[in-house]
Structure 1
Amino acid sequence: MQLDVVQYLHDFMAHVMPYQKEIWHAIGETFVMVGISIAAALCLGLPVGTLLFLCRKGQLYENRAVFSIVNGLVNIIRSFPFLLLVVAMIPITRMIVGTSLGTVAAAVPLSVVAIATYSRLVEQSLLEVPKEVIEAASSMGASTLQLIIKFLYVEARSGLTLGLTTSTISFISYSTVMGIVGGGGVGDFAIRYGYQRFENELMVFTIIVMIILVQSIQFGGSLAARLLDKRRA
């Protein structure tokens, strides 16, 4: 039995090793797409989510018009089927990066989804901040920027971290279908080399890679969130 397992693993790796260059290239493409989307989520999704929170009914800067517009856009993007969004954004992608094909081009629609997804999670995390914190900041004469950075983000840092972790895993999932616009990545490798060539070993290997990647991100994000949890300090 043990010899059979060893032989199976030997045969399995014999099928995989000739493609190691392509595998590493695909992993690199996935990292580029996901990395750009994470940057977009932090640079734009975080402020958008904060704006949604501040403009909500009953909050410090309540503004029904602004909230309705931003909230509507976020809802539309989040409810849009991802593949259709990728195709619909081809003209916009071509305008931004000069082409609609390639890894960087694929990161454009992925970034749009990232902004919408993380902004909603940011809003939810900030809603969990006790109102007393905002009242205390206002009574101390804190400016809007100070209120956001030194009070809201500090109180919600654990939730924001978990939200980013969840979003990152979603971005990885979305990136697997970016082969339709030449984005490459692990998913595209699995389809082209595994599924279309009937190389089941390559399919299994890419699934294992994705599982390891997702589990590592989830573990790291959960650990960071626990360490940042003010309630546990």
Structure 2
Amino acid sequence: MLERVIEVWPELVLALGQTGVMLIVAIPLAILLGTPLGILLYSIGPNGLKPKPRLHRILDGLVNVIRSFPFLILLIAIIPITRFIVGTSIGTAAVIVPLSINAIPYFARFVEQNLTQLGGGVVEAARSMGASRAQIVRDVLLVEARPALVSSITIMTVSFISYSAMAGLVGGGGIGDFAIRYGYYRYDTQLMIVAIVLMVVLVQVVQISGSRLSRHLDKRH
């Protein structure tokens, strides 16, 4: 097995790099755009800072629709949009588009749930001290929800590692593409096992790091 790994080492390193690029772009985009969307969903929700039931139903429905799409179907369905944005429908850059589109509402729902779980007592205490809505969100809710948000980012990252692997089915690059080309098309079981082990290690590193950071931010520990 070692000889086979050495033989394909450059391709393996390239595949790891492609998976890393997908996550390094898609996850920050999800946080950057999903956080304000999640705050909005919370704020206009039934127990939010400024409930707007009709608008909440519309946004909630849109988020549910996008999240309900299986990633592989979304990947294929938005090929025209992907081609318009990045100029191609294959490769690592092309996969980042559907990954980001899927990740934004995914994380927005996490944000909404994390803020909702804090309860109304925190908000009322901030209001009694004269805090504005923006101050409540920025200085109270997001601060109190940090451990939960870090856990949510960890869960999302782990999920999207598997999504990035599925991108290999359409030539998206990454570890999934490597596993399919060598393990499926060439029946090379050894390299398939290597790809699986790398995926497991990557997931474990992300999970352990995220869990430790979440515990560090949690004031209750």
Q: TM-score, normalised by structure 1?
A: 0.91
Q: Is the CA contact 2:47–2:116 (under 8 Å) kept in the aligned structure 1?
A: no
Listed one character per residue, the Cα deviations across residues 154-184 of structure 1 (whole Å, up to 9, x for unaligned) are 1111110000000000010000011244320
Q: Does 1:55 align with 2:44?
A: yes
Residue identity matched to 1:26? A
Counterpart of 1:176 in structure 2 is 165
Q: Does 1:26 align with 2:40?
A: no
Q: Does 1:225 align with 2:214?
A: yes
Counterpart of 2:5 in structure 1 is 16
Residue identity matched to 2:123? I
Deviation at 1:56, TM superposition (A): 0.7
- In structure 1, runs of 5+ residues without a counterpart are 1-11
- Partners of 1:102 and 1:91 in 2: how far apart? 14
- Partners of 2:106 and 2:78 in 1: how far apart? 17
Counterpart of 2:179 in structure 1 is 190
Question: How many residues matched?
Answer: 221
Listed one character per residue, the Cα deviations across residues 77-103 of structure 1 (whole Å, up to 9, x for unaligned) are 111121111111111111222222221
- Partners of 2:171 and 2:132 in 1: how far apart? 46
Larger Rg: 1
Q: Is the CA contact 1:34–1:172 (under 8 Å) kept in the aligned structure 2?
A: yes
- In structure 2, runs of 5+ residues without a counterpart are none
Q: Is the CA contact 1:106–1:181 (under 8 Å) kept in the aligned structure 2?
A: no
Deviation at 1:104, TM superposition (A): 1.2
Listed one character per residue, the Cα deviations across residues 17-70 of structure 1 (whole Å, up to 9, x for unaligned) are 100000000000001111111011111111111111111113211011221111
Residue identity matched to 1:131? G
Counterpart of 1:75 in structure 2 is 64
List 4+ stretches of structure 1 deviating above 4 A.
none
What root-mean-square deviation, in Å, do the aligned CA atoms of Structure 1 and Structure 2 show?
1.2
Counterpart of 1:122 in structure 2 is 111
- Partners of 1:210 and 1:138 in 2: how far apart? 46
Counterpart of 2:147 in structure 1 is 158
Residue identity matched to 2:184? Y
- Partners of 1:142 and 1:157 in 2: how far apart? 20
More off after superposition, 149-158 vs 133-142: 133-142
Q: Kindly, what percent of the aligned residue pairs are identical?
A: 49
Counterpart of 2:97 in structure 1 is 108
Q: Is the CA contact 1:137–1:147 (under 8 Å) kept in the aligned structure 2?
A: yes
Residue identity matched to 1:203? M
The equivalent position to 1:204 in structure 2, one of 183, 193, 196, is: 193
Listed one character per residue, the Cα deviations across residues 174-201 of structure 1 (whole Å, up to 9, x for unaligned) are 0001124432000000000222111111
Q: Is the CA contact 1:41–1:118 (under 8 Å) kept in the aligned structure 2?
A: yes
Q: Is the CA contact 2:49–2:133 (under 8 Å) kept in the aligned structure 1?
A: no
Q: Does 1:131 align with 2:120?
A: yes
- Partners of 1:230 and 1:127 in 2: how far apart? 19
Q: TM-score, normalised by structure 2?
A: 0.96
Counterpart of 2:85 in structure 1 is 96
